[in-house]
Amino acid sequence: MNLDNKRLRRFIENTADLMEEQGFPRMAGRVIGALMICTSPHLSHEELAEQLQASKGSISMTTQLLMRLSIVERISLPGHRRHYYRLREQLWNDLLSTRSEHILQHLSLVDDGLALLKTEPIEAKMRLIELQVFSDFILESLPEMAKRWEQRRPELMKKRLAQLS
């Protein structure tokens, strides 16, 4: 194993660490890492199994999970039997909208809590109201942020690309 290969593995394991913190299985993090760092536009099922030293069964489980979460997508190439996988485009942009669903969950939980405290004095409710108001704020900020992202993207992109030379 040469030096770059070693760094490659470390990159993939670091990605796995990061995703594990977010509650994903390590293998899912590895697949994401491999698809981020690969030089070709996609990797086959077999290539993933080989590069990550994992069983084909495990890769199958993991890609199913990641497809269900709209993180990777499967591609079939004409004339090839194999399945190929790549990271979904627009993956990062979508983060802004999927956050909204989580926050709506939060809010519904907080509503339940406030219902429970209905007859209690206002002081007891304040903790929940603070959270409710903060969630309101995030919820109303997200669409605006998405709009600003579209505006800002080209400029930031240009700046980063200039740094590569």
For residue 22, count other CB atoms closer than 10 A to its CB.
Answer: 8
- In the chain, which ranges are continuous DSSP H helix? 3-21, 26-37, 45-51, 56-68, 91-116, 122-163
Least distance to a copy of itself from the beta carbon of 80, Å?
Answer: 20
Residue 77 has φ and ψ, to the nearest 5°, of -95, 130
Residue indicated by tokens 């004095």: 121
Picked from DNA, a copy of itself, none, the partner binding residue 58 (CB below 5 to 8 A depending on kind) is DNA
Q: Which positions ≥6 away from 65 have C-beta within 8 Å? A: 25, 28
The single-letter DSSP state of residue 72 is E
Picked from a copy of itself, DNA, none, the partner binding residue 83 (CB below 5 to 8 A depending on kind) is DNA
When the beta carbons of 45 and 99 are compared against DNA, the nearer one is 45
Determine the 3-state secondary structure of 40 from DSSP: coil
When the beta carbons of 84 and 132 are compared against DNA, the nearer one is 84
Stretch that binds DNA, among 33-41, 43-51, 86-94, 136-144 (CB under 7 A): 43-51
When the beta carbons of 39 and 53 are compared against a copy of itself, the nearer one is 39
The span from the CA of 20 to the CA of 112, in Å, is 30
Q: Does 135 bind DNA (CB under 7 A)?
A: no
Q: Does 64 bind DNA (CB under 7 A)?
A: yes
Q: Which of residues 52-111 bind a copy of itself (CB under 8 A)?
A: 87, 92-93, 95, 105-106, 109
Least distance to a copy of itself from the beta carbon of 10, Å?
Answer: 8
